[in-house]
Structure 1
Amino acid sequence: MAPASPRTGAWLWLLVAAATLSQTALNLVRPVTTYKLLALGADAVTVGLVTAAYAVLPLVTAMWLGRTTDRVRELRRMVVVGAVVLALGALALDLAATAALVALASAVLGMGHLLFTIAGQAAIARHSPDDQLDKGFGWFTAAFSAGQLAGPLLAGLLLGTGSAVASPERLADIRTALWLGAGLSLLAVPVLLVRARTPRGRPRDDDAGAASTAAAGQQPAAGEAGTVPAPLPRASMLRILRVPGVPSHMLAALSLLAMLDILTAFLPLVGERAGVPPAWIGALLAVRGGASILSRVFLPRLAHRFSRRSLLLVSLYGSGIALALPPLVITVPWLAAVLLFAGGFCLGLGQPLTMTLISTSVPASWRGSALAVRLVGNRVGQVAMPLLAGLVAAPLGPAGAIWSTCAVLVGSGLEKTLRRRS
C-alpha cells in the first residue's frame, strides 16, 4: 500500500497509530478474559454468554452513535472517549470476582470498542475521497489486525507455558495482563490529541456538522443549476436496509466479525482442553492477525485487479473452510499456524471491503449512519453467534463453536453467489 502524502495523510496516520494501541489492548484483554473465566470455574456455555455480553451495549447504541457522527463537529473527541472506556473495561475485568461481573466488564469493554470504531470509520468516510476509501479503511482495519497480532502475543507471553488454571501464579499473570491492556489503551489518548490537517477539499472536523447538514439536502441558490434536487430524507435504519445490496454486505460483515470473536474466545478453550499452553495459543492467534495485516496492506492492489465482490467471496469461502481445520490439528502447532495464516489472510480482506461497499451504496450524507447500521448488524452477530456457539460447544466441545461460525461464513458466501445468479 502506497503511503499517503504528508498533505493528506497525517490525520490518517495518527488515527492508525491510536487504533494500533487500542486494539492491541483489546486483543490482549479478550483472550485473557477466557482464562480468567476458566480460573473462576466457567464452562463453554458461560464463555459463550460472556462473549455475547461484550456486544450488548453496542447493539442498543450503535445506530444512535452513528447518527451522532453525522452531526458531531469533533470526531476526535469520540475516539478519545472510546480509548478511555476501553481502559476502564480492562480495569473492571481485573476487579470482577464472578462470571456475572466479568460479563458486565466485558460489556463496558465492548462499548469502548464501539465508540472508537464508529468514530474512526466515520472520520475516514467523511474525509477520504471515494477512490481513496479502500486505502483509508484498509489502513484502519490493518491497525486492528496489528492489534490482533500483538495483543494475543503479549497475552501468551504474560501467561506463559505453565501454571494450573486457578493457581496464584496464573491469577497474578492475568492481573498483570489486564493492567497492561488498560495502560496501552490510555497511551492512544495523547496520540489522538495531536492536531492534524484533514485533506484539502474535504471538511475539517470543526466544520463537519455544517457540511453534513448541507450534504443532507440544502437547495442551491437560484441560477446555480437548472433544476433543484429534492432534499434527501433523513437516514434511518429501514431506509438504509432498503438500499440494494446493503443487507447482503451486512450479513458478510456480521459473519466475518463473529469469526474473530469466536476464535479469540474459544481457541484458548480448545487449547486448554488439548493441553496446549497459553503461549502457543497466543502465537497462533497472532499468526491469524499477522495474515490479516498482510491481506489489508495488499488490498488496494488486489482491489485494482479484481472486483470487490470477487474478493469478498474469497474472504468468506476461504476463511470459512481454512479456519474450520485448526481445532482438529491444534496439537500440531506448525500445521495449525499454516491454516490460521490462510484463514486469517482471507478473513482480513472482508471487513474493509464491506465498509467500502456499504459506504458507496448510500448517499454521501448517509455514510456515518450506514456504517452505524453495519455496526448494529455486527453487534447482533456478536450477541447471537457466541450464544449459538456456546450451545453447540455443550455437546460437541469448544471446537464446535468454531465450526458453527465457519458454517455461517460459508453460508454468507453462498447467499452472495445465489443472489448474483438470481
Structure 2
Amino acid sequence: MIEEPRASAAIQSGTDYRLLIPFLSHVVLAQMLILVVRITTSYRTIELGLPVVWLGIIATGFAIVPALTALRVGRWIDRGNDAKACWVGAALVLVATMGFWAWPRSALHLLAFSILLGFGHMFCMAGHQMIAVRAGGARSRENVLGHYMVAASVGQGFGPFVVGWLGGSAALPPTHALFAMSLAAAALALGIALLITPESKRAPQREPAEVVPISHLLSMRGFPAVMVSSVVTITALDLLVIYLPVLGTERQIDSNHIGLLLTARSVAALVSRIFYYRLIMGVGRISLTLASMLGSAAGFLMLAMPLSLLAMYAVMIVLGFAMGIASTLTISSVVHLAPAHACGTALTLRMTGNRIGQIVFPALAGLLAAATGVASILFALGVGLAASGIAAAVRQPKG
C-alpha cells in the first residue's frame, strides 16, 4: 500500500486557505514573469543577430545549476523549509530580471542571467510543489494540486499574452520594455512570497536513518517511468516556448500571433486542470496518463506539418489541454509513489531529471534546428512523448 504524504496535523483533513491564497498568488506571478523573460530572451537573441544555436545554449544555462543542486534543496525542504525556498527563489529571480533589464548586451550576458534565473526558478518551483502538498493535507491533495496547476496555467497564459500585446504586429517585440515590466513583476513577486508562512514548528529534526536513499526511490515500481515521462513532458513544453518564435519567423507569423498561440495553449491547459480532479477520480491515473501523453504527442506531430495559422490555433488548444493534464500527473504521480517523509526529495529528484533534460535536449535541439529546421524538433518531441507515455502507463502500479 502506497503511503499518502502527511501535512501538519492542523491541516491533515482539509485545505489551509491562509496558506493557499498567497501561495497561489505567487505561483501566478512567478510563472508569468519567468515565461515573459524566457520568450523575451529568445527575441533578444534574434535581435542581436546571434546564431540559432545560442537559443539552445541559453536554454541549457537556465537548467544547469538546478540540475546540480535540486536534490540538496529537496532534502532541505523536507526539514520544513518550503516557504523559505520561495523567499530565496523570489530574491534570485529579482536579481536576474534586474540584470536582463540593465545589461542585455551580448550572448554571454543573456546566458549569465538565464543561469541565475533558472536557479531562482528552481527554488520557487520546489517550494511551490511542497507547499501544494502541505496546504491540501492527505484528503485534499489532488484537489489542491489541481488548484496549483490552474494557477500555473493562469501565469503561463498571461506571459505570452503580455509579449504579444506589447509586440503587436511587429516581428520583434520591444525587448527592453518587456524586461522592465519583468523587473517590476519580480519585485512584486518577492513581496508576495514573504507572505507565505513557514510550516509550524515540527518535531525535532529527523534521524538520519529516516532519510530515503535516491536508489530506493528509483527502485520503486513505476517511479523511473514517471521520471522519464516528466523529463520528456517538461522539456517539450520548454522547447515549444523557445522555438515557436523561431518557427514563426520561418513561416512569417508575426509576434502577436506567436504570443496568442502560446496563450491559447496555456488557456487550454488551465481548462484541463480545472477538471483534473474529476478526471483522475473518474478515469483513473493510468488511463488518464496514457490519454494525455498520446494527445500531447499528436499535437507536436501535427505542429511539425506546414499547417495554416487557423489549424495551428486548433492544434495548440488540443496540445495545451492534453499537456495540462500530463504535466499535472507528473507531479501527482511522484507524490503518489513516494514515501510521505521524502516528498520534497522525490519532487526535487523529478526536478533534477527535468533540468538534466533541459540541459541535454535544448543543446541537441539547437544543433538539429540549425541543420534541419524547427519542424524536426517538434516531430522528435512527439515521438518521445508517445513512447514515454506508454511506458509510464504500463509501469505504474494499480490502484
Whether the TM-score (by the shorter chain) exceeds 0.5 is yes
Instruction: Determine which of 110, 116, 122 is the counterpart of 1:114.
Output: 122
User: What residue in structure 1 maps to residue 177 of structure 2?
Assistant: 176
Cα drift, residue 19 of structure 1: 0.6
Q: Deviations over 1:353-382 (max 9, x none)?
A: 122211121221111111111111111111
Provide the rounded CA distance (Å) in 2 between the counterparts of 1:35 and 1:26. Answer: 14
User: What residue in structure 2 maps to residue 316 of structure 1?
Assistant: 293
User: What residue in structure 2 maps to residue 17 of structure 1?
Assistant: 25
Provide closer, same or farther for how the CA distance between residues 83 and 311 of structure 1 changes in structure 2, counting only shifts above 3 A: same
8 A Cα contact 1:270 1:327, kept in partner: no
Cα drift, residue 419 of structure 1: 4.2
> 1:85 is aligned with what amino acid?
L
8 A Cα contact 2:82 2:131, kept in partner: yes
Give matches, 1:20-419, under 5 Å: 20-72=28-80, 74-94=81-101, 95-162=103-170, 173-194=174-195, 205-208=199-202, 210=203, 213=206, 233-329=210-306, 332-416=308-392, 419=395
**Quick check: 8-17 or 292-301, which moved more?**
8-17
- For residue 207 of structure 1, give the secondary structure of its aligned residue in structure 2: coil
- Size of the aligned set, in residue pairs, is 385
8 A Cα contact 2:135 2:144, kept in partner: no
> 2:377 is aligned with what amino acid?
A
Provide the rounded CA distance (Å) in 2 between the counterparts of 1:50 and 1:119. Answer: 24
Provide closer, same or farther for how the CA distance between residues 420 and 144 of structure 1 changes in structure 2, counting only shifts above 3 A: closer
- For residue 195 of structure 2, give the secondary structure of its aligned residue in structure 1: coil
> 1:92 is aligned with what amino acid?
G
8 A Cα contact 1:134 1:352, kept in partner: no
Provide the rounded CA distance (Å) in 2 between the counterparts of 1:310 and 1:371. Answer: 22
User: What residue in structure 2 maps to residue 225 of structure 1?
Assistant: none
8 A Cα contact 2:222 2:395, kept in partner: no
- For residue 139 of structure 2, give the secondary structure of its aligned residue in structure 1: helix
Cα drift, residue 80 of structure 1: 2.0
Provide closer, same or farther for how the CA distance between residues 324 and 90 of structure 1 changes in structure 2, counting only shifts above 3 A: farther
**Quick check: 242-251 or 135-144, which moved more?**
135-144
Larger radius of gyration: 1
Cα drift, residue 13 of structure 1: 2.2
Cα drift, residue 295 of structure 1: 0.8
8 A Cα contact 1:385 1:405, kept in partner: no
Unaligned 5+ residue runs, structure 1? 197-203, 218-231
Q: Deviations over 1:270-306 (max 9, x none)?
A: 0012211111100000000111111111000101101
Cα drift, residue 338 of structure 1: 0.8
8 A Cα contact 2:222 2:396, kept in partner: no
8 A Cα contact 1:392 1:404, kept in partner: no
Cα drift, residue 9 of structure 1: 2.0
8 A Cα contact 1:29 1:155, kept in partner: no
Provide the rounded CA distance (Å) in 2 between the counterparts of 1:312 and 1:70. Answer: 27
Cα drift, residue 389 of structure 1: 1.3
> 1:325 is aligned with what amino acid?
M
8 A Cα contact 1:81 1:112, kept in partner: yes
Q: Deviations over 1:321-356 (max 9, x none)?
A: 1122234345x3221111001001000112221222
Cα drift, residue 264 of structure 1: 0.4
Matched-pair identity in %? 26
CA RMSD of aligned residues (A): 2.3
Cα drift, residue 126 of structure 1: 3.3
Provide closer, same or farther for how the CA distance between residues 420 and 299 of structure 1 changes in structure 2, counting only shifts above 3 A: closer
Provide the rounded CA distance (Å) in 1 between the counterparts of 2:253 and 2:296. Answer: 23
**What TM-score results when the alignment is normalised by the length of structure 1?**
0.86
Cα drift, residue 418 of structure 1: 5.3
> 2:179 is aligned with what amino acid?
L
Provide closer, same or farther for how the CA distance between residues 135 and 420 of structure 1 changes in structure 2, counting only shifts above 3 A: closer
Cα drift, residue 211 of structure 1: 6.7
Cα drift, residue 90 of structure 1: 2.3
Provide the rounded CA distance (Å) in 2 between the counterparts of 1:267 and 1:241. Answer: 34
Cα drift, residue 316 of structure 1: 1.1
